[in-house]
Amino acid sequence: MPLFGTDGVRGLANGILTADLALSLAQATAVVLGQGRSAEARKAQGLRTSVVLGRDPRISGDFLGAAVSAGLAASGIDVYDAGVVPTPALAFLVADRDADFGVMISASHNPAPDNGIKIFARGGVKLPDEVERRIEQALEGPMLLPTGGDVGRINRFSDAEDRYVLHLLGSLPHRLDGIHVVLDCAHGAAAGVSPETFRDAGAKVTVIGADPDGVNINDGVGSTHLDLLAQAVVAAGADVGIAHDGDADRCLAVDANGEIIDGDQIMAILAASMKERGALKDDTLVATVMSNLGLHVAMRERGITVLQAAVGDRYVLEHMNAGGYSLGGEQSGHVIMSEFATTGDGILTGLHLVAEMARTGKTMAELASIMQKYPQVMINVKNVDRTRTDDEVVQAAVATVVAELGESGRVLLRASGTEQLVRVMVEAASEDDAQRHAQHLAGVVAERLAL
């Protein structure tokens, strides 16, 4: 069974993800990423192989971080421990330090008992599948460990957060003076750096979800629980609310009335602004197949092409890198601005979103009105053969619904990657139409693909 999932190695800390596994994974990663031509060339120049290590504030990050540090140092790698930092900060710091790779200990939006290990290659980019497979293979082989002065050193990366904040502030096209922002930091990695950065950028800041204790990360707060943020924005009379997840690679928002602004709306706002400023490469936005039809309509009206990738920020990144595109993301709030980041960055996204309010003088509700969301109904059809979605009767039923909806709707059948389950998604001009068509298609799938 593969060790790596869609975003690193993730599981119950001290269950699946033990200190022994973390140490062994670190050593295997050192074999794959700390050797080869690049490493040899650096050694020839008198440079030591180095890695930047970061984590979110989960309590299990302490022992997992210690295990990873031990494994890397025992393999001859110098470790620069950045402490608690957002995942996108870790990616930036790998490039900023010209480190050979980076390791982030975080389970993102998962609950506190979980944790994960994400690995970034040189330049702060995520690993391709092939490299992950090589690391898994290295786990099975012998580990040739150095001795004496060739073992690695573990150093405190004392100015890591300052470097990241300066990078964020330097990316802004406009200051945030005069705007009152409520930040929900999910009791996670953004708790220190996000409020500091927004204040330095000129915003008035009210903070919630910024008291991490190791076990409360994502617990009723953050981008997966927006009710508290909406209430706080309305109660404070603030202009906008920004929500991060546990490792701050996501950003969702609420307007002054407490209405949710999702990732599709955020991408629409940023894409239109970037096109106006000549910063949107080839007037193209990369989204996923799950993005709302309203995003496609809004972008088409403004002369912006929307490319569709499979679900997952790694697939969005693949499309962006292939075409050199400057903006992409997901409905969930993973937004990638490739001029400034190699991965989704919730703080960067939030800053640029609020900067657009400051630049235009518009409210968040006015900016979000660029896109009208189509009603979207999703039904998970369980206990079906997910490999047979090409069934003739199923495809004929889909074709009939697509023809009836025309340009005012959309149908997507998506097989689960891990369960015997097929997701039926229908968008339509009305909630009733979306529900009716989704229920009909779900029934056909359940009957035809039953196990």
Angle (CA) 148-149-150 rounded to 5° is 90
Helical H runs in 107-239?
129-138, 160-171, 190-200, 227-236
CA–CA gap between residue 293 and residue 11 (Å, rounded): 34
**Of 194, 198, 160, 193, whose CA–CA distance to 179 is shortest?**
198
CA–CA gap between residue 119 and residue 140 (Å, rounded): 19
User: Parallel, antiparallel, or unpaired: how do β-strands 305-309 and 327-329 relate?
Assistant: unpaired
**Bind-site residues:** 108, 245, 247, 249
Helix (H) or strand (E) holding 80: strand 78-84
CA–CA gap between residue 292 and residue 332 (Å, rounded): 11
Angle (CA) 121-63-145 rounded to 5° is 55
**Bind-site residues for Mg(2+):** 108, 245, 247, 249
Give exposure, 183-208, as e/b (b: 16+ Cβ within 10 Å).
bbbbbbbbbbbbbbbbebbbbbbbbb
**Positions marked active-site:** 108
- 3-state SS of 112-149 is CCEEEEEEEECCCEECCHHHHHHHHHHCCCCCCCCCHH
User: Parallel, antiparallel, or unpaired: how do β-strands 204-208 and 180-184 relate?
Assistant: parallel
Q: Which residues make Cβ contacts (< 8 Å) with residue 205, sequence separation at least 6?
A: 180, 181, 182, 183, 195, 198, 199
Angle (CA) 170-175-181 rounded to 5° is 110
CA–CA gap between residue 256 and residue 180 (Å, rounded): 10
Sign of CA dihedral 240, 243, 244, 250: negative
CA–CA gap between residue 409 and residue 235 (Å, rounded): 37
| Residue 443, number of CB atoms within 10 A of its CB | 14
What distances in angstroms separate CA 415 from CA 287, 289, 380, one per listed residue? Answer: 19, 13, 10
